[in-house]
């Protein structure tokens, strides 16, 4: 451990933090319209999240012309979306709706 001499000679401050590695996320262009697009709904397992998402999907279909939806659940609210769901959405959906909160 540090001795008196260590401190007498040297009052250095060592940064205990770490910088986050920078990462770039590419977003797909926002569609100009939802007409005839298929909706993927990401349900986060919280109470009523499925109810809310299905109501959103109904509005998007009725008022904005979206063509159908699928709803898939995460394993838990604190987990990322499973890879097979991502692949299904990539293959089937044009846009996705996700959210957080209770």
Partner 1 sequence: MVPTDFQSSQDETDDLTAAIEMYYSKGWTDGLPVVPPTEKSIGAMIEAGGLESGKEITFIAERQISVTAEKVAINAVLAGCKPEYMPVIVAAIEAIGDPRYNYHGPATSTSGSAVLILVNGPITHDLGINCGGNLFADGWRANATIGRAVRLVMRNVIGTLPGRLDRSSLGHGGKYTFCIAENEEESPWTPVHVERGFHREQSTVTVFAAMAPHQFSNQLSNTAEGVLSTACAHMRISAGVGRGAQYFLVIAGEHMRVIANDGFSKDDIRRFCFEHTQTSHAELKRIHVMPGEIGPEDETRMSHLFPAPEDLIVVAAGGRAGVQSAYIPGWGTRKSSESVTKEIRQP
Binding site for partner 1 (CB under 8 A): 1-3, 6-7, 10-18, 20-21, 23, 47, 75-80
DSSP SS3 for 96: strand
Give the span between the Cα atoms of 32 and 78, in whole angstroms.
32
**Least distance CB 85 / partner 1 (angstroms):** 16
**Least distance CB 61 / partner 1 (angstroms):** 27
Minimum CB distance to partner 1 smaller for 14 or for 30:
14
* Burial profile 42-58: b = 16 or more Cβ within 10 angstroms, e = fewer: bbbeeeebeebbeeebe
Minimum CB distance to partner 1 smaller for 7 or for 92:
7
Dihedral sign (CA 70, 74, 77, 79): negative
Minimum CB distance to partner 1 smaller for 65 or for 80:
80
**Least distance CB 48 / partner 1 (angstroms):** 9
As to burial, measured by CB atoms within 10 angstroms (0-12 exposed, 13-18 middle, 19+ buried), residue 89 is: buried
Minimum CB distance to partner 1 smaller for 16 or for 32:
16
């Amino acid at each position: 451990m540090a001795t008196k001499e260590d401190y007498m000679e040297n009052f250095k401050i060592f940064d205990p933090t770490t910088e986050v590695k920078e990462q770039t996320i590419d977003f797909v262009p926002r569609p100009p319209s939802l007409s005839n697009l298929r909706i993927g709904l990401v349900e986060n397992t919280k109470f009523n999240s499925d109810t809310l998402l299905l109501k959103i999907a109904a509005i998007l279909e009725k008022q904005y012309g979206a063509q159908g939806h699928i709803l898939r659940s995460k394993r838990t609210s604190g987990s990322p979306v499973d890879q097979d769901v991502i692949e299904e959405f990539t293959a089937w959906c044009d846009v996705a709706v996700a959210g957080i909160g209770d």
